[in-house]
Homo-oligomer: A and B are copies of this chain.
Amino acid sequence: MRHSLAMFFFASALPLPAFAQSSAAPAKADAVEYHATIDNAKYVFGVAPPVAHVKAGNILEANSLDCFGNALQKPGDSMSLVKGDNPLTGPFYIDGAEPGDTLVIRILALQVDGKQGVGTFSPGFGAVNSTHYTPVLEAKPLPERMWFYPIDKEKNTATFQALDSDFKVSFPVHPFLGCIGVAPANGEARSSIVPAEFGGNMDAPEVSAGNTLYLPVNVPGALFYFGDGHAAMGDGEVAGSAVEVPMRARLQFELVKGKSTGWPRFENEKEIMAAGVYRPVDDALRIAVTELIHWIHSDYGLSELDAYELLSKVAKVHLTEMVDPNYVVIASIEKKYLPLKKGFAPR
């Protein structure tokens, strides 16, 4: 009901469904399927003809290419084979979505769509080398490098093989989407390497199965895109890449009508998480923390100062990446530390 939705920010999202892949997901009949190729890939988050329509409640089953358009397959393959960074699957038109609404994306399942991942270092990109936006003079730049990561689906691991020694080590796979977003506000179109208010290249491990993402709807139909699958990534994505992989995704959409969110938000059964997506990190953190305080105040009823104090005792702050044109910080709190949500009626 619209009226009560207007009173409590994300009230419509309550109670959250179980997120596990094994949960009673909507019947196959409600699913929209789509196959992405290098030929139908997009490279900006913006207004473009939709590749398919999806209704609220529907499930989207689609694949994405890796951030290099699947062009790097073996040692010696050149970056010049890459047609464009972060090819996107989409856009999908969410029926009924209008500016001022919130798009709810439930990440039901993600599966690495291949047998290996790739990581690269490119001069001019990374957290601790000279970059386009933080340039320094150097006698000589670091060289371009490429690492391949075999993925063992049974053990759920990827394997790092050093280039300058014979060291090898395996680590767990945690699949997530580096890119997920909608068309930006104010008529803007942004490159698929940029994260901002509309989501985009957030490189956030929080975009994984079991989590729900809230994004602002800025144009009719929202125009949803995703891509840039990651099999695993360290905090900060410091050298500029994750274990880059093609992905298969199962996503479900809902709408919160007439209520918007200024910045991306995440939620699961245990936590609420507010993203700050800007630069420098200090400002990304300021955005994330103030948004989380406002969220707690609006939906859970603590005063802003009580919320601020409580976060100072139990908040988690996650720096997801410090390499893209904007940086991403996610501030979160476990729901067990919050009052019952306003308007919550136990059944």
Contact = CB atoms under 8 A, between A and B. Distances in A.
Interface of A: 43-44, 46, 119, 121, 126-130, 133-143, 145, 147, 149, 158, 160, 162-165, 167, 169, 171, 186-191, 232-243, 278-283, 285-287, 289-290, 293, 301-306, 308-317, 319, 322, 327, 329, 331, 336-339
A327 B141 CA distance: 27
B127 A289 contact: yes
Contacts of A160: 309-310, 313-314, 337
Contacts of A169: 310, 336-338
B136 A313 contact: no
A128 B286 contact: yes
B281 A165 contact: no
Nearest to A135: B290
Contacts of A289: 127-128, 236, 238
B136 A136 contact: yes
A165 B44 contact: no
A236 B315 contact: yes
A319 B236 CA distance: 11
Contact of A311 (B46, B187, B238, B287): B238
Given A140-B140, A239-B309, A313-B242, A133 B278 contact: yes
Contacts of A339: 165, 167
A242 B142 contact: no
